[in-house]
Chains A and B, each alone.
Chain A
Amino acid sequence: MFASGHREATVGLGVILVTVAFAWLGPQIWRADPLAVNLANSLLPPSAARPFGTDDVGRDVLARVMSAGQLDLIAAAAVTAVGGLLGMSVGLLAGLRGGLTDNASMRLIDSLLAFPPLILALAISVALGAGTVSAALGITISTVPFYARLMRSEVLRVQALPFVEAAVASGCQPSRIVWRHILPHTWQVMTIQASSVVGYAVLTLAALGFVGLGVQVPTPEWGTMITAGLSYVLSGQWWIGVFPGAMLLILVIGCNLVADGLGGEAVGSVLTGSTRNLPE
């Protein structure tokens, strides 16, 4: 079980690295301009000269999928890091302080959880106006509750363990106890959560692009590319929307494999749809 879990995580990590290489090394090999419009070459099917075909205004779909990959990966990394920092800080404070701090912050977190995550991200980016940054901000805020709740329960769990008591008894500074004794024990669970947040961030950025928020034309982004491809499904030009979606699927599966392999199924992650524990 343990060994197969590690294999799963390794495969997932490999898949993520392949998409990273595709997005950054790909353009070094395939030197087409993702923004160059050429109406004479519009809607060409995949061929040796253009492996992924061209879109409605003759832009090279392969070059656009690569360039979109850079944007999506950077946005997902930023969302995961900032959301993680915010959420973990809230969870840590709530777990350590308890009392009023705990109650107030958890009520706030619960009220964020009262919205389906995508709808919360959508509302925030509607309010801030369409654009990559406001979409990323909306998604970031919608991820804070996942980290915060998990961090709080982890801190409560670790705090009760005997070695923390031993550290207190031996006269450790509170800050040292937090940094050396409590936080390191939360990393595994937090890594699982973070890897599923990467997948969630990419999916949600694509979804906001579909609704018309998020990344604006002509900047390539997987979600908006799929949306553009929808209008050409029935006229037979499937390649415009299918390739960006396939890349997105590969990346998210990579993230979910990492989360599963590290023990996500046992720990329970809301985002990948793994098992959750019974409510307390």
Chain B
Amino acid sequence: MAHTIRARLSGAIVTLFIASVAVFVILRMLPADPARLILGPLASAAALQHERAVLGLNQPLYVQYVDYVVGFVHGNWGFDYGTGAPVLKEVVTRLPASLELGFYAMLFAVIGALAGAVASVGARSRVVDSVCRAVAFVGLGSPPFWIGLMALVLFAEYLHVLPGPVGRLGVGVSAPPATTHFYTWDALIAGQWGTFANAMEHILLPALTLGLAPFGYLFRLLRHSLREVSDEDFLLVCQGKGLTRWQALMRHGVPNALLPALTALGLLVAQLVAGSVLVEAVFNWPGVGQLVVNSVLAREYGVVEAFVILSALAFIAVNLIVDSLYVVIDPRLRRPSVI
């Protein structure tokens, strides 16, 4: 088991190295002239030369690469030209908002997909099956920012049941004392029920919007694997021993059907990261995704670069954890790999 995990870990490190070279080449080498980008079209030749020296662009490539990796590890991610704040600080202050949104999106997606799959396969409900499949098709077939727009038109503009795109809290509501930096949790800890309701109200639409694509993905996956499992002989054996069909499915079918879903976790994280860029800006959610959109529009490459590296890091880490968990959960994978 340890052998397999070690193999996965070394594989992840190699991937991380090549990925960092890829980011370096794409974002440092491809732009025609970073000095020109920073100083603008009117800069003099001398100023450009000076800027290149400051950026280290006259150094050999491998020196530039090492400088860039060392700088990144030390948290030296450059400055946001708009606010003048260090990129690291900007990202760290915005991260809790994104994480809270991602948490609820994932929660809705997992609960919805599991309930939908069990109802459509286990309880053989045609209605639930059709509705969930339709929602999955819409979730996987449309850009999240369009879903957000439709949700706002319906719930905020016509039905007036949920607030419009105003961020994490309503006007005049102050943030609860910071413990976890998740407003909903902090409000609960501080016992501020009004603030909790307000925060939930504001996070509901963006989280549902962000969770729609992961829901579609998970529902299709769970439905498929639950169908396969429900045909297996061992469920028949369980029923022969005296369990009802329902008990056999819930106790022995669902855990087996969950296994393939674990593999998909990395992909779900990728969907959430990409989705946060597309959803946060719509709801004026003060997270990292909104920062990225603003930075691309303002040509702030430092922020974009940090975001690209961080999302690759997160993606690799999640896949590594999932691969290792798989070995822990599935005994068949514990023997040392032949390759």
Contact = CB atoms under 8 A, between A and B. Distances in A.
Given A110-B15, A111-B15, A116 B273 contact: yes
Contact of B157 (A227, A233, A256, A275): A233
Given A207-B278, A229-B149, A230-B282, A115 B296 contact: no
Nearest to B137: A253
Interface string A198-225: 0100010011001111000000000100
Contacts of B308: 115, 119, 122-123
A184 interface: no
Q: What is the size category of the interface that chain B forms with chain A? A: 35 or more
A211 B277 contact: yes
A238 B156 CA distance: 12
Interface in A123-141: 123-124, 126-129
B27 A212 contact: no
Interface string A103-118: 0000110111011111
A110 B137 CA distance: 28
Interface in A232-264: 233-234, 236, 238, 241-242, 245, 248-249, 252-253, 256
A212 B282 CA distance: 14
B326 interface: yes
Nearest to A279: B263
B108 interface: no
A111 B18 contact: yes
Nearest to B142: A249
B305 to A, nearest CB: 8
A273 B216 contact: yes
Interface string B261-283: 00110010111011001100110
A270 interface: yes
Contacts of A176: none
B217 A273 contact: yes
Interface stretch (B52-60, B190-198, B219-227): B219-227
A206 B19 contact: no
Given A123-B26, A226-B143, A278-B260, A118 B153 contact: no
